[in-house]
Amino acid sequence: MRASLEMRWFYSGALPKSINQWFGSESLGGYLSPPEEREDTYLLVPGCDYLGVKLRGKTLEVKWRQGELGAMQFGNRWEGNAEKWLKWVCADTIAPIPADILATGKWVGVKKKRAQRLYQVSTPGSLMSVPVEAPIPQGCSVELTQLNINGSAWWTLGFEAFGSESCLTESLQTVASWTSKSYQAQKLKAEDSSGYPIWLAGK
């Protein structure tokens, strides 16, 4: 089980070139993962926006939303909703999912092309770009992902802070504040900011 603090936006259509260029620029640090392509299968549960269940290959991932911190502002172009999640990764058939949820939901495939960055946060306001596979104790990952669901193109920019629960907010704020300084593309609004369950509910 791992706790995280996340902030994410979803937008329909193709990924804007300006945002793709920003994410790949050296201004965000020296480490950028090569694009990874895969298809995840999500469980859709009507009226349940606090639970995320997905199959990634043969691995089942379950996420429960533990709290909502509300909107956070970064510079004059980003405003997003921060949410605290708990995540279980299940490599076998045992998973903490109630049977009635499994019975009433349906599954949908989401194709993804994802690029990632990872930042280690040692103290509030201090970060360092590291390889995405680095085993750091405290930090925040940033992903830019092109999505395709039911033949429709979308894209998402997301932050996920991890490590000591008492430091999650500081880690998210440190990384989002720093990365937002070089961002000059379209405004990202709180009304477009949510976790995957809310986005999937409208599909």
188-191's contacts with Cβ under 8 Å and 24+ in sequence apart are 188/9, 188/77, 188/78, 188/79, 188/80, 188/157, 189/9, 189/79, 190/71, 190/79, 190/80, 190/81
- pLDDT of 35: 94
- pLDDT of 123: 84
Domains in the chain (CATH in brackets) are 2-201 (3.20.100)
- pLDDT of 103: 65
Per-residue pLDDT of the chain (203 residues; tens, 9 = 90+): 889 999 999 999 999 999 999 999 999 999 999 999 999 999 998 888 999 999 888 788 999 999 999 999 999 999 999 999 999 988 765 555 666 665 666 889 999 999 999 999 988 889 999 999 999 999 999 999 999 999 999 999 999 999 999 999 999 999 999 999 999 999 999 999 999 999 998 77
Give the strand pairing for 106-123 and 126-130: antiparallel
- pLDDT of 22: 98
- pLDDT of 203: 75
- pLDDT of 125: 84
177: its two tokens: 């504040």
DSSP characters over 162-199: ES-GGGHHHHHHHHHHHHHTT--SS-B-GGGB--HHHH
- pLDDT of 47: 85
- pLDDT of 112: 98
List Cβ neighbours of 93 (8 Å cut-off, separation of 6 or more).
Answer: none
Query: How far is the C-alpha of 89 from the C-alpha of 2, rounded, in Å?
Result: 9
Q: Is 72 within 8 Å of 7 (Cβ atoms)?
A: yes
Q: Is 143 within 8 Å of 158 (Cβ atoms)?
A: yes
Q: Is 115 within 8 Å of 35 (Cβ atoms)?
A: yes
- In this prediction the pTM is 0.91
Q: Is 199 within 8 Å of 33 (Cβ atoms)?
A: no
Phi (first) and psi of residue 192, to 5 degrees: -105, 10
Given its phi and psi angles, is residue 189 left (phi above 0), alpha (psi -120 to 50 degrees) or beta? beta
Query: How far is the C-alpha of 200 from the C-alpha of 196, rounded, in Å?
Result: 6
Q: Is 165 within 8 Å of 140 (Cβ atoms)?
A: no
Handedness of CA 166, 169, 170, 171 (dihedral sign): positive
- pLDDT of 105: 67
